[in-house]
């Protein structure tokens, strides 16, 4: 397990208020074979100054304008050299210092993908919503299920085989990639029943009603592209399946 190299990619843009907490959660990991990549979109608010405080812990920092979140993630994937790759956004944190150790241990059983559970936190750091994924069974995507993307770890070889994030799907690019990898191509999957990430509230797709409508349309297109059986029904089931996260 110690030989497994994990690449963590953090994308950031004007995140000076949260990036330090994110980086600290990476530095505090009790796992040594780690590559940490930060892809910044050309921040102007002091984010880079904060990042540079931790430059000895960062394998690569690239700061330049990009085409959005998933374009930045793809840049990170191009530079990542780890056996396994995961994303940790600038306003999210690892749930515990042994998170990467647990992920590496899960990959000992030789899956292509490992995913786990996630907690949503408010600005005060209090948990108000819990995403407990459950073990994947083939066909679950047809019922509106999906794993939390911040907990999604994948072998680099699978990205090389099946491709990176498709920016054509807008805010659904992560959903489309997980559909493509898990539902369409039957990758070997391991569910880790542990909270791996604490995710801050908010998101591009939820900022307005127009954005929500666009997000639904992007989800629908992703479903059609990846052979969801009844995409209209699945589109309705997808938000319904998340209700239990609040209880």
H/E/C letters for each residue in 94-106? ECCCCHHHHHHHH
Q: What is the pLDDT of residue 125?
A: 84
Q: What is the pLDDT of residue 202?
A: 61
In a domain, 1, yes or no: no
The mean pLDDT value for 11-32 works out to 96
**Please, which pLDDT band fits residue 247 given cuts at 50, 70 and 90?**
confident
Q: Are 46 and 16 in contact (CB under 8 A)?
A: yes
Q: Could you report the per-residue pLDDT of 117-132, keeping only the tens digit for each?
A: 999 999 888 999 999 9
* Residue 32, burial from CB neighbour count under 10 angstroms (0-12, 13-18, 19+): exposed
Q: Could you report the per-residue pLDDT of 191-234, keeping only the tens digit for each?
A: 999 999 999 976 554 556 788 888 999 999 999 999 999 999 99
Residues 6+ apart with CB under 8 A from 94: 25, 26, 28, 29, 88, 100, 196, 197, 198
Round the average pLDDT of the chain to a whole number and report it. Answer: 94
Q: What is the pLDDT of residue 203?
A: 53
Q: Could you report the per-residue pLDDT of 153-190, keeping only the tens digit for each?
A: 999 999 999 999 999 999 999 999 999 999 999 899 99
Q: What is the pLDDT of residue 207?
A: 56
In a domain, 57, yes or no: yes
pTM for the model stands at 0.94
Strands 84-87 and 153-155: antiparallel
In a domain, 81, yes or no: yes
| Per-residue tokens: 86 | 């995961």
Q: Give the CATH number, domain containing residue 215.
A: 3.90.550.10
Q: What is the pLDDT of residue 1?
A: 45
Does the pLDDT at position 40 exceed 50? Answer: yes
The mean pLDDT value for 28-33 works out to 95
As a whole number of Å, the end-to-end CA separation of the chain is 36
Cα gap 140→127, rounded to integer Å? 27
* Count: domains in the chain: 1
In a domain, 242, yes or no: yes
Q: How many CB atoms are located within 10 Å of the residue 188 CB?
A: 13
Q: What is the pLDDT of residue 208?
A: 66
The mean pLDDT value for 239-246 works out to 86
Cα gap 114→182, rounded to integer Å? 11
Domain that holds residue 62: 6-246
Cα gap 125→139, rounded to integer Å? 35
Q: What is the DSSP string of 153-171?
A: EEEHHHHHHH-S--GGGGG
The helix/strand/coil state of 136 is coil
Share of the chain above pLDDT 70, in %: 96
The helix/strand/coil state of 203 is coil
The mean pLDDT value for 43-63 works out to 97
Q: What is the pLDDT of residue 159?
A: 98
**Please, which pLDDT band fits residue 102 given cuts at 50, 70 and 90?**
very high
């Amino acid at each position: 397990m110690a030989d497994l190299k994990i690449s963590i990619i953090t994308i950031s843009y004007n995140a000076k208020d949260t990036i330090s907490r994110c980086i600290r959660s990476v530095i505090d990991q009790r796992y040594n074979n780690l590559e940490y990549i930060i892809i910044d979109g050309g921040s102007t608010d002091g984010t880079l100054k904060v990042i540079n405080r931790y430059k000895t812990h960062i394998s690569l920092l690239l700061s330049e304008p990009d085409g959005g979140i998933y374009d930045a993630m793809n840049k990170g994937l191009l530079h990542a050299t780890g056996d396994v790759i995961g994303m940790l956004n600038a306003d999210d944190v690892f749930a515990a210092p042994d998170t990467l150790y647990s992920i590496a241990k899960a990959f000992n059983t030789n899956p292509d993908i490992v995913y786990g559970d996630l907690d949503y936190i408010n600005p005060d750091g209090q948990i108000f919503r819990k995403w407990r994924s459950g073990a994947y069974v083939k066909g679950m995507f047809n019922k509106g299920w999906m794993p939390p993307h911040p907990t999604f770890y994948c072998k680099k070889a699978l990205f090389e085989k099946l491709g990176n994030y498709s920016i054509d799907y807008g805010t659904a690019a992560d959903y489309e990639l997980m559909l493509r990898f898990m539902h369409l191509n039957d990758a070997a999957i391991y569910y880790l029943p542990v909270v791996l990430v604490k995710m801050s509230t908010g998101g591009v797709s939820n900022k307005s009603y127009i954005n929500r409508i666009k997000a639904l349309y992007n989800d629908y297109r992703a479903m059609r592209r990846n052979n969801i059986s009844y995409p209209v029904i699945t589109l309705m089931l997808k938000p319904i399946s998340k209700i239990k996260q609040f209880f």
